[in-house]
Structure 1
């Protein structure tokens, strides 16, 4: 009898065994957390996490931020090859509004080049786990440009909002956003802890329009980009008094899930 049961379990084992971890794609934690109730974490655990899970975010210029993850992955947003800080990125994301937001000839040593558009007009669909970061996108429409001039025509799904999920943080980059977001966009984005927002007021959206989106997203940290000559006090006046402002003398922000500010804060890094 014992021998019989051994044979049966041997046959059933492969069928009953759980799938290997690498065969099960991890879903978006930021989408899950946007629907979950806040959970308290003991102070001792928060302090330990802050030391182990810090993410470095460095402003390079225009719309390019470098994100360095705890696992050593380096990401550059709206990468054009000109704004460089330290070592070559492992991952670059691009949008095609102007040549300042992409390059068709990136350094061949860059392992992952993620376009926020598809050349055939279909929506780009990105959901890739690279090292310790999940990178996904939410497409938006974009105005058609000839050179650097817009003719007003909109290209459907020509831009992407990129979301980077790492170390418990949900980091969003709005790209070259040209229109208001609807409920389907906000649902697809989920919760953001940190958001990079274009504040030029003309080439992307009006200050009123981008301020409405910033208030709705209500991220703990707002990192301006694509500024040109926009007065910061004008942007601050539009997004409202519920946002604090923190001007830094350094170019890099070190942050973790448990060191996020308690009040929504616009952080101005050097060079913005």
Structure 2
């Protein structure tokens, strides 16, 4: 499996099929990904997560809860909320759980704004990899993200939706999250290759500034 971070909550995942998650538009501040996905998933319909229209190749768009099966890949969309008030402030959010043919299970939490309920957490209890927002303000913050990680115990923890030099959103830097842990921190540029999942680690991506 190869994971690429394009900024914010947008990832490319290659594992027999190419998936692009939560693409943003040019107003966010990151470069638009040069990527040709087979599948695009969108956790909700805000401009920094739903810019599938920028990609001109043929792809399958998934932006609803429920079960979706494509080419031996099972995708489950779990309904959650973008805030702590059941969507009254910022609407609904979808956590997408990906179950690949090689057995790897990955969850992308989108703009999750609350601690999920017990049923949702149970659906996620077997994941190997989690992509989770940590910046607060619009989403859960670092402490809430750690609470979820402590419950689910994934082996690979990938923070997202945090402050960088590319964006001016009023959210926190990733250090507020990783400082809460006493586990290995792997810092990578461009992409992260997964050949086996063993020790628990946090993977922090860095995008080169042009």
Q: Shorter-chain-normalised TM-score: which range?
A: 0.7 to 0.9
Q: Are residue 134 (structure 1) and residue 74 (structure 2) matched?
A: yes
Q: Are residue 94 (structure 1) and residue 94 (structure 2) matched?
A: no
Query: How do 1:218-237 and structure 2 match up within 5 A?
Result: 218-229=153-164, 230-237=172-179
> Is the contact made by 1:67 and 1:74 (CA closer than 8 Å) also made in structure 2?
yes
Whole-angstrom CA distance in 2 between matches of 1:219 and 1:142? 22
Please give the TM-score of this superposition, normalised by the length of structure 1: 0.64
Please give the TM-score of this superposition, normalised by the length of structure 2: 0.81
Partner of 1:78: 22
> Is the contact made by 1:138 and 1:162 (CA closer than 8 Å) also made in structure 2?
yes
> Is the contact made by 2:43 and 2:95 (CA closer than 8 Å) also made in structure 1?
no
Following superposition, which runs of at least 4 residues in structure 1 exceed 6 angstroms of deviation?
A: none
Q: Secondary structure at the match of 1:215?
A: helix
Q: Are residue 267 (structure 1) and residue 203 (structure 2) matched?
A: yes
Whole-angstrom CA distance in 1 between matches of 2:32 and 2:60? 17
Query: How do 1:1-272 and structure 2 match up within 5 A?
Result: 55-69=1-15, 71=16, 73-80=17-24, 84-96=32-44, 98-103=46-51, 105=53, 107=55, 109-116=57-64, 124-125=65-66, 127-143=67-83, 153-154=88-89, 158-166=92-100, 167-229=102-164, 230-238=172-180, 240-241=181-182, 243-248=183-188, 250-256=189-195, 259-262=196-199, 264-271=200-207
How many corresponding residue pairs? Answer: 195
Unpaired runs of 5+ residues, structure 1, are 1-54, 117-123, 145-151
Whole-angstrom CA distance in 2 between matches of 1:98 and 1:141? 13
Which structure has the highest helix share of the two? Answer: 1
> Is the contact made by 1:97 and 1:176 (CA closer than 8 Å) also made in structure 2?
no
- Determine which structure has more spread, i.e. the larger CA radius of gyration: 1
CA deviation after TM superposition for structure 1 residue 97, in Å: 5.6
- The alignment's C-alpha RMSD in Å is 2.6
